[in-house]
Amino acid sequence: MDWVKYGAAVRQLAQTVADDGYKPDMILAIVRGGMFVAGSLGYALAVKNLYVINVEYYTAVDERLDLPVVLPPYVDWVNLDDAKVLIADDVADTGHTLKLVHDTAKDQVAEVRSAVLYQKPQSVVDCDYVWKHTDLWINFPWSTEPPVVDLGSASHKALDA
């Protein structure tokens, strides 16, 4: 998936949410891939309240912990008991991360729904809004390149733009 396809996909996902009549008060992004999806959905659905929840599960490609773990900083659920929340992530692979986040949020807010770009058949959750179903590995534009390296003083040079 490239950035152009991502843009079209997330707009279609947002349209699905809007067509359903769901108007979230906040979008909860699952870090890291869900941050891109949540930000884009926030713009498309005119939702300015974006929260993040950091969950560690995958440690490398096809390597994960036994169970997902919520890491700090934690979401401040104060005064959110009347809120409608849309959980956003890039993919529901096993679904364990989404289930953990949903179970964490459901007792804190009025309503919780989930939106993902892709859902895989083995997912233990059935997301409310899904752009596509697949059983393939997805290469997202934000995760196809390796991390950048420190270029030392070269990274501090001024741009001639």
Whether 161 is covered by a domain: the verdict is: no
pLDDT in tens, the chain (161 residues): 899 999 999 999 999 999 999 999 999 999 988 999 999 999 999 999 999 999 887 766 677 767 888 888 788 888 899 999 999 999 999 999 999 999 999 999 999 999 999 999 999 999 999 999 999 988 898 888 888 887 775 555 555 55
What is the extent of the structural domain holding 139?
3-156
Q: What is the CATH number of the domain that holds 76?
A: 3.40.50.2020
Nearest to 80 by CA among 53, 110, 48: 110
pTM of the prediction?
0.84
Do 53 and 122 form a contact (C-beta atoms < 8 A)? no
Whether 48 is covered by a domain: the verdict is: yes
